[in-house]
Structure 1
């Protein structure tokens, strides 16, 4: 067995981190962020700050002969009083692209969130060491995908042989922005979120800017995407605008135009795919806001309910049906001058018949099987024959 003095410690740096837009150095370690520091200074609420620090799609990537890898982390465990306990986040190790091992950090910092008052408190916790052993004794590409829904402070990386940065993959970089569904809610592993699955099917390197509760057409998110090198871009718009009851119809159209205008400032000809919401019956014709179902929480289950009134759409409140109609119209109008702009109806990814077969467990988020179905359909549409992400359109 390898002794500790044989181990090589490698600094956590951008050379070996993929999928993060910023690495924050703290007194305890390195915290990957999916929004840059300038954008984070403009975040108006704790929900987005937390979501952007959760490393969905973020992975360590390196080439090595090492047969053993140790990663020291401080994971943030979220507790919602009255709701079912959350499972530990999963760290997935891939060797030459193949899933090889999994691990979890059972302890760490604890973030307790009161859903009624939306207040929170944090209790510091210990560093945990994840160990992956028995890897093949040969040169290989290794990836460690961090938990998609658990903030992870990276403290130290050790291997029993030196490592180096991987060679460029040659794959196109796909930059995606969306809601908690894109973030990976209800997926059980970081490579099981629909964007990660679709990236694998499409042969793309993913940067996932799916933010739970926070796909809200924020200008700082658009600017972050504008300034991020990418070959392929997609934005999934709608569900958070409804369940946050954020804006009315009058503001929605100009906000979409402004977001797309900003993206085009940095990526004038990249394929840009606008995706409307998947089927979500509670909000198809009923506006937000959305709230946890208190009666379900009393039974130890987490479900969501729509609090709006369908009659309020006459006053400009948004529903998913309204948003799909508006997005289709906006993209069609802009596409006359932008041949690289495309539209995908979210109901083609997950529609009413899919909901009947694979219902949303909490009435808002897909389960792992539905994540895979969405990924397969997205990959077929975007990366398949003559799709907007095929070489013909790049």
Structure 2
């Protein structure tokens, strides 16, 4: 077996690669951004490699990847399945696997505490592949921090430098990150990218799409042909700011991105339907009255009457985002708006309800991805050919 050094040329979708005692840890925020926020929740989600994949050309029939995963365990919730590695050959699904063991991060949401325990590395193996030159992609688990240790193949590997699509840079919440999708290629951004023929960089940061200036600078400094921002739900979840602060924060976020991408097509997407927060402010809290359902559920912790004091609901957020984009687009013809309920609305909730009250399931991810591709990437769409 050939052992190929893991180098940046083999990886796509990460903004930074950290050398660790074990190997290479992909990050979706650069080191400077990480240094500006000590929030352990952000550290966890930005190191989960949603959209990050190894891409190389080879005629190998057997591929082995050694990794050290970090598994999450939530106190009071059933065990989570192992993270999934998706194998694509020439763009088509060709295998799926997992790595057992690894480090363990035990999280007590109610107490706001966590505990980390070290574990052993493991191997995901793909065999019986076609004996022909092909482009191989290994999509890393979207919801499991993954340190890359070694890549072995039974034929030499070379980096693929001839990308065949425009780079789509997307930022959003846990829904964009891929929560409750079953695999890294079944998150809605991965599905939309495949249908749209674009190269995905996914900065969906579960719980941390909070209009942070360091995230805006990361978006500003990342080369991209197309950009989309799915904003609002996490600001409500965290009960982070009032209406007075939200509007200027959105303007500042857009201003920073435009400093690096003055003419890039930029699509602002408001939240999908989430009934518990449509007219009720945050914070979002665990539903401790539903322990018998076998999974974590959430509920709105605010009071609808608090809207009068400036608390944010999804309805208020959509109105503000629509207004901001409408006013800015008079001088920025490359800026566009999409109501998230066009991706998942009332009829969809009746058909495919949110299992935990907040996140779509795998079938809903597919529906959202298909609709986003049709609305955004088709000719004449805000991110399609000929987009203004």
On the 8 A contact 1:82/1:298 being kept in 2, the answer is no
For residues 86 and 220 of structure 1, what CA distance do their matches in structure 2 show?
31
Which structure 2 residues correspond to residues 1-394 of structure 1 after superposition, within 5 A? 7-393=1-387
Across the aligned residues of Structure 1 and Structure 2, the Cα RMSD in angstroms comes to 0.8
On the 8 A contact 1:78/1:86 being kept in 2, the answer is yes
Deviation at 1:86? 0.7
For residues 209 and 323 of structure 1, what CA distance do their matches in structure 2 show?
21
Deviation at 1:300? 2.7
- Give secondary structure in 2 for the equivalent of 1:74: strand
Describe the superposition over 1:184-235 as per-residue Cα deviations: whole angstroms up to 9, x where unpaired. 0010010000000000000000000000000000000000010000000000
Describe the superposition over 1:237-288 as per-residue Cα deviations: whole angstroms up to 9, x where unpaired. 0110001000000000000000000000000000000000000000000000
Deviation at 1:9? 1.0
Structure 2 regions of 5+ residues with no counterpart?
Answer: none
On the 8 A contact 1:197/1:372 being kept in 2, the answer is yes
Deviation at 1:130? 1.1
For residues 240 and 95 of structure 1, what CA distance do their matches in structure 2 show?
36
On the 8 A contact 1:77/1:111 being kept in 2, the answer is yes
On the 8 A contact 2:171/2:202 being kept in 1, the answer is yes
Deviation at 1:298? 4.7
For residues 253 and 311 of structure 1, what CA distance do their matches in structure 2 show?
21
For residues 161 and 216 of structure 1, what CA distance do their matches in structure 2 show?
45
Deviation at 1:385? 3.1
- Give secondary structure in 1 for the equivalent of 2:386: helix
On the 8 A contact 2:210/2:235 being kept in 1, the answer is yes
Runs of 4+ in 1 over 2 A off after TM superposition: 297-301
On the 8 A contact 2:378/2:385 being kept in 1, the answer is no
Aligned to 1:4: none
For residues 256 and 17 of structure 1, what CA distance do their matches in structure 2 show?
31
With structure 1 as the length reference, what TM-score do the two structures score? Answer: 0.97
- Give secondary structure in 1 for the equivalent of 2:70: strand
- Give secondary structure in 2 for the equivalent of 1:295: coil
For residues 385 and 173 of structure 1, what CA distance do their matches in structure 2 show?
16
For residues 329 and 19 of structure 1, what CA distance do their matches in structure 2 show?
32
For residues 268 and 11 of structure 1, what CA distance do their matches in structure 2 show?
37
Describe the superposition over 1:330-355 as per-residue Cα deviations: whole angstroms up to 9, x where unpaired. 00000000000000000111001110
With structure 2 as the length reference, what TM-score do the two structures score? Answer: 0.99
Deviation at 1:85? 1.2
For residues 393 and 168 of structure 1, what CA distance do their matches in structure 2 show?
24
Deviation at 1:391? 2.1
Deviation at 1:10? 1.1
For residues 201 and 300 of structure 2, what CA distance do their matches in structure 1 show?
31
Deviation at 1:299? 4.3
For residues 233 and 167 of structure 1, what CA distance do their matches in structure 2 show?
22
Deviation at 1:118? 1.5
